[in-house]
Amino acid sequence: MSNLNQIQPSDPMSTSLIQIHSLTKSFTKGQNVITPLDNLSLEVSRGEFLALMGPSGSGKTTLLNLIAGIDAASSGKLIIDSQDLGSLSRAQLTKWRSVNVGYIFQLYHLVPILSAYENVELPLLLQSLTRSERRTRVETALELVGLSDRMHHRPNELSGGQEQRVAIARAIVHDPGLLVADEPTGDLDRESAETILDLLRSLSRDLDKTIVMVTHDPRAAAIADRALHLEKGQLVSQLQ
């Protein structure tokens, strides 16, 4: 557990998808400077399933948001698939996100007025695809999460577990290499949580998706290839 802020990938032979060097995120709140992420370095292999654990305020969601490209670091380097995110403008980052990242929220965040099909279709509206191309992709994604028979249901007609599966379908429909999940099982019962974790596991194993998941649940962390523990913005331990 020496120099835990310089943790190397689990398989030194594999190519890293995510390379993080001395990443710091700080902001001012009133008179105080808060540093949720402090000089963190990390590498994540392509196709790896990584779990981030730690108490509230440890910086795991901040790290997740930086990796997802929805927040900007104060200093350090964050390179994903050879792309230095710090060098991208806001518009470029948005474009990059629409192609490379699938985000899974704890509370699903589906658009309530849209059906499961339409929710999953949303990321595809940003790409130059025909209607039939979009249909094929949406149907495939929904089939993958086992919800082909619920595609015309609205979120309020689905259970929590089904909503999260729709959210996963929305995250993978544009075939991004990286999936980030912020406590994806945090709001689910045990049975639904296991279904979601199995799904994430198979996405990593069968489709070679790189997954970074924030979780408080040790059972969820146990199915990941690697689990990192954060405290006060720094990595403190690693489980493999």
What are the angstrom distances between the C-alpha of 180 and each of 35, 100, 105, 189, 205?
Answer: 22, 11, 9, 21, 15
Beta bridge partners of 21: 77
| 12 binding another protein? (CB under 8 A) | no
Are 38 and 234 in contact by the 8 Å Cβ rule? The answer is yes
79 Cβ partners below 8 Å, 6+ apart? 18, 19, 20, 21, 85
- How far is 171 from 47, CA to CA, in rounded Å? 16
Per-position x/- string for 96-125, each x denoting binding to another protein as judged by CB under 8 A, each - no binding = -xxx---x-x---x-xxxx-------xx-x
Pick the piece of the chain touching another protein (CB under 8 A) from 6-14, 65-73, 80-88, 189-197.
65-73
Q: Would you give the distance in Å from CA 100 to the centre of its chain?
A: 11
CB of 37 to another protein, least distance (A): 13
| 24 binding another protein? (CB under 8 A) | no
| 90 binding another protein? (CB under 8 A) | yes
Per-position x/- string for 165-204, each x denoting binding to another protein as judged by CB under 8 A, each - no binding = -----x----------------------------------
Q: Furthest-apart CA pair in the chain: how many Å?
A: 55
Nearer to another protein, 59 or 123 (CB): 123
Within residues 122-141, the interface with another protein by CB under 8 A covers: 122-123, 125-126
- Interface with another protein: number of residues (CB under 8 A): 23
Count of beta carbons in the 10 Å neighbourhood of residue 33: 10
The residue ranges that bind another protein (CB under 8 A) are 65, 68, 70-71, 90-91, 94-95, 97-99, 103, 105, 109, 111-114, 122-123, 125-126, 170
